[in-house]
Amino acid sequence: MTSLPVDAIKALADQHPKPPNVVFQYGTAGFRTLGHALDPVMFRVGILAALRSKRLDGKTIGVMVTASHNPEPDNGVKLVDPRGEMLEAAWEAHATNLANAPTTDALIVALEALVQNLRIDLSKPARVVYARDTRPSGPALIASLEDGFKAMGAEARNAGVTTTPVLHYLVKAINTKGTKDSYGDDSEEGYLQKLSTAFKKLVAGKPAIPPLVIDCANGVGAILAEKLAKHLGDTIPLILQNTAIDTLGALNNACGADYVKTSQKLPPSLSSVLKPGQRACSLDGDADRLIYYYLDDRGQFHMLDGDKIAALVAAFIVDLTKSAGLDDQIQVGIVQTAYANGGSTKYLSERLPVKCVPTGVKHLHHAAEHYDIGVYFEANGHGTVLFSPDTLEKLSTYQPSTPAQSTALNHLINLTNVINQTVGDALSDMLLVEVVLAHRSYTGVEWDSLYVDLPNRLVKVVVADRNLFKTEDAERRLVSPPGLQAKLDELVRRYEGGRAFVRPSGTEDVVRVYAEAAVRAQADELAFRVAGLVYDEVGGDPAKRPS
Ligand code: G16
């Protein structure tokens, strides 16, 4: 192919027309909206993925169809770049542009401009791998995506129904296959083998691990968790809950990581299952977020969120680098967002370099790449640990001088395999947490006591136009609507230990408000007062005014 296959594109594009008066936007995690609205977007994303692959010399690009933690009627799509990381930011604008071309002719014009401006060599091959979660709207959307691949003559590999992190893993495994950087066998089985083998080595010789309850959010994580449980055997007994992937309306409904994090309580379905002191965790709808929790002896709920995971894991890795004699050569750093609890930021920044970036895995991932070992977690449980290429090289060539150094070095090497370094991965993170708990002999109680969380509250505000909200300083301050930040500052000053910020969501049509304060009632009051200020400033549906 030396020019765009215009006829093929036209013929198929006419089957996926864009409705007028709808504006699509490639946001925090790709396109996300009601599933039935996404048909034209899928077709165009299929074309774009093929062009991205051609631009990158035929490297395989990933496409994941999911709306993750969002309600079941939503769906979405995001592109994954060759190393398994999120799509390069500049291409997000191209995706938005193509998705909004009003007619087939306008789409062709936009595609021709893209090919010319980016000097895409159309004679290169186009290779893609794609997957979807369990949402009912998935199969139809996949068919539309496949039309996009077909129009471009792309070599497309269907990875079926699997988790977002598996898709990211596959992309990296395919692109590194047969090279010295091979990431593992390019199959779901290869992924499960890699994680479970490393986990078994890491906990070998440790006391038996007590059973762990997993809330699978009634999503695709249930399928993978079941396969993982088989690979792990007796090493760690997994008790799978909320596995109803075929029950309409069950996905993320009163369960899953987002439910637990936002409502700060146990999924009701677990109340008769979880025993005091027992560890449990929740995945989200595509298994890229993880939140732990336990009930204390009085039955009180304690949440161990992404911040607590970061603290647990970072301290463990630092100790291993010290024990291996590598602490002067390997620097561990942390990346958080404005949602990180003030308690965690204080705890971590007293020990390690900490950077704050805007919401979205892509921002955290890139910032973490600047450290030798970068630990990044969003408070919502989305995160992973990155080992830089230099660090991986050091670990593979370092000569330990004592048996203790050698053991620590082996642990570090095994950690690089149990951790999915392409993206946040609930199941991989779960194994990582279990490794640390086993090595530290911690229950949830000791882990929880690393630092005390400041009471906090997250509130959604439905406004007429969330695009009116613009932020700066890693989303910690508003620059628009003008004057609103000054009002927030004035309000926050009245609360002891008060902190609050407002930002537009990139995945839902809402504005998010986060507030924390020294005591619970004050954090709640601050959040709702800020939400009220936001609402009054820009207006919206009176029935939806926060109260
Ligand atoms: C996605 C992103 C996360 C982000 C979350 C919420 O998560 O990957 O980085 O924290 O959306 O984003 P926002 O507040 O902009 O709506 P997921 O799990 O839904 O893919």
Instruction: Please give the distance, rounded to the nearest whole angstrom, from the Cα atom of residue 165 to the centre of ligand 1.
Output: 14
Tokens of 231: 């690979």
CA of 198 relative to ligand 1 center, distance in Å: 29
Q: Could you tell me the distance, in angstroms and rounded to a whole number, from the CA of residue 28 to the centre of ligand 1?
A: 6
Counting as low any pLDDT under 50, the low residues of the chain are none
CA 322/CA 26 separation, integer angstroms: 42
**Whether residue 516 has its Cβ less than 6 Å from ligand 1:** no
* Active-site amino acid positions: 68
Nearest-10 crossing angle of helices 306-323, 426-440: 60
Ligand 1, closest atom to CA 27?
15
Burial of residue 406 (number of CB atoms within 10 Å: 0-12, 13-18, 19+) = middle
Annotate 138-157 with b (16+ C-beta within 10 A) or e (fewer): beebbebbbbbbbbbebebb
What structural domains and CATH numbers belong to the chain?
6-161 (3.40.120.10), 189-304 (3.40.120.10), 306-401+415-424 (3.40.120.10), 456-544 (3.30.310.50)
Q: Is 406 in the pocket of ligand 1 (CB under 6 A)?
A: no
Q: Mean pLDDT across the chain, nearest whole number?
A: 96
Residue in 507, 508, 511 to alter for ligand 1 test, most ligand atoms within 8 A of Cβ: 507
Name which of 237, 257, 272, 243 is nearest 303 in CA terms: 257
Nearest CA residue ID for atom 14, ligand 1: 505
Predicted pLDDT of residue 537: 85
Short-list 304, 213, 221, CA closest to 264: 304
Instruction: Check residue 339 and give its pLDDT.
Output: 98
pLDDT in tens, 235-248: 999 999 999 999 99
Continuous segment of H or E residues that includes residue 314: helix 306-323
Ligand 1 atom closest to Cα of 510? Answer: 16
Q: How far apart are CA 163 and CA 117, in angstroms?
A: 34
- State the Cα–Cα distance between residues 223 and 111, nearest whole angstrom: 38
**Ligand 1 mutation target, pool 78, 382, 471, 508, most atoms within 8 A of CB:** 382
Q: State both tokens at 490.
A: 């004035």
Widest distance between CA atoms in the chain: 70
**Sequence-separated (6 or more) residues with CB below 8 Å from residue 355:** 333, 334, 335, 336, 367
Which amino acid belongs to residue 533? Answer: L
Beta carbon of 29 within 6 Å of any ligand 1 atom: yes
For residue 395, how far is its CA from the centre of ligand 1 (angstroms)?
A: 33
